Amino acid sequence: MESRKNGFTLIELLVVVAIIAVLVSILLPALSRARESARQIVCAAHERQLLSGILYYAQENGDKIAHYALPQEWPVHAGTNYNHWNKYILPYINETEQQYLDGQGGLLKGCPSDNKYGWNGWVQHFDVSYSYSNAFRKPYINSFSDLFVPIAMIADPTKTPIFCDGKFSPVYTHMPGITRFDFRHNGGANVSFADGHVNYLIANKILDLPWNTFADISE
């Protein structure tokens, strides 16, 4: 039999191509998970800065976190223009109102895995990349000015979330229901807690947190 000195047969070449294809198909999901983990870390850093802004705001406002949204015309409860929580904390995250309106701010862009990241349209409305808790509100809303309870009255700030990765909902609501969470970081999300820490949690753990439990306080 004549021996070959150089080159591959077509079969050998096809086998090599097939092996490479299998390797790529194994490696690509791992690479995509790694890329997502990197984005999750950037997101957590953004959340830490937003969270410290929220807590600084509370320090200067009777220990109460910023409202989710209030009519700009408040106390006249009319009109369709609302200020959202992200606007109240601008001075505490060193961001100007013009940056906020232009969508130029670094922090208010939020989560790098959010589809709307960097799209100016969402920056000044609703809650950036994040869903905001309802747990700091009183059960009965008699007046907006008296809507939120002090953080000190929350039973366990280490387990009480303020916000986490979320997404825009076409249904206007204060309630960050399940449809407003977004488990875009490998099946989980970054959660910011009332004691000032940020933690990555998987979906089931996040759903167990007291998001919509109205603050249980005796008046």
Q: Is 164 near Zn ion (CB under 5 A)?
A: no
Out of 55, 111, 154, 206, which residue is the one contacting Zn ion (CB under 5 A)?
111
C-beta of 187: minimal distance to Zn ion in Å?
12
Rounded to a whole number of angstroms, the minimum distance from the CB of residue 113 to Zn ion is: 5
Q: How far apart are CA 200 and CA 91, in angstroms?
A: 27
CB count, 10 Å around CB of 70? 19
Give burial (CB, 10 Å; 0-12/13-18/19+) of 116: middle
State how far the alpha carbon of 172 is from the alpha carbons of 150, 169, 179, 199, in Å.
Answer: 25, 7, 12, 27
CB of 19 to Zn ion, least distance (A): 37
Query: Which range, of 29-37, 70-78, 158-166, 170-178, touches Zn ion by CB under 5 A?
Result: 158-166
Query: What's the order of all strands across the beta sheet hosting 161-165?
Result: 130-132, 161-165, 188-193, 198-202
Cα 131 to Cα 7, 22, 86, 175, 207: the distances in Å are 60, 40, 11, 9, 13
Consecutive H or E run containing 191:
strand 188-193
Would you say 194 and 156 are in contact if contact means Cβ atoms under 8 Å apart? no
Residues 36-65 close enough to bind Zn ion by CB under 5 A: 43
Of 107 and 111, nearer to Zn ion (C-beta) is 111
Q: Which amino acid is at 37?
A: S
Shortest distance in whole angstroms from residue 39 CB to Zn ion: 7
66 binds Zn ion (CB under 5 A): no
Among 68, 128, 132, 165, binds Zn ion (CB under 5 A): 165
107 binds Zn ion, rule: CB under 5 A = no
Which of 35-43, 71-79, 100-108, 147-155 is the region at the interface with Zn ion (rule: CB under 5 A)?
Answer: 35-43
In the complex, what is the shortest distance from the CB of residue 164 to Zn ion, in angstroms, rounded to a whole number?
8
Q: Which residues bind Zn ion (CB under 5 A)?
A: 43, 111, 165
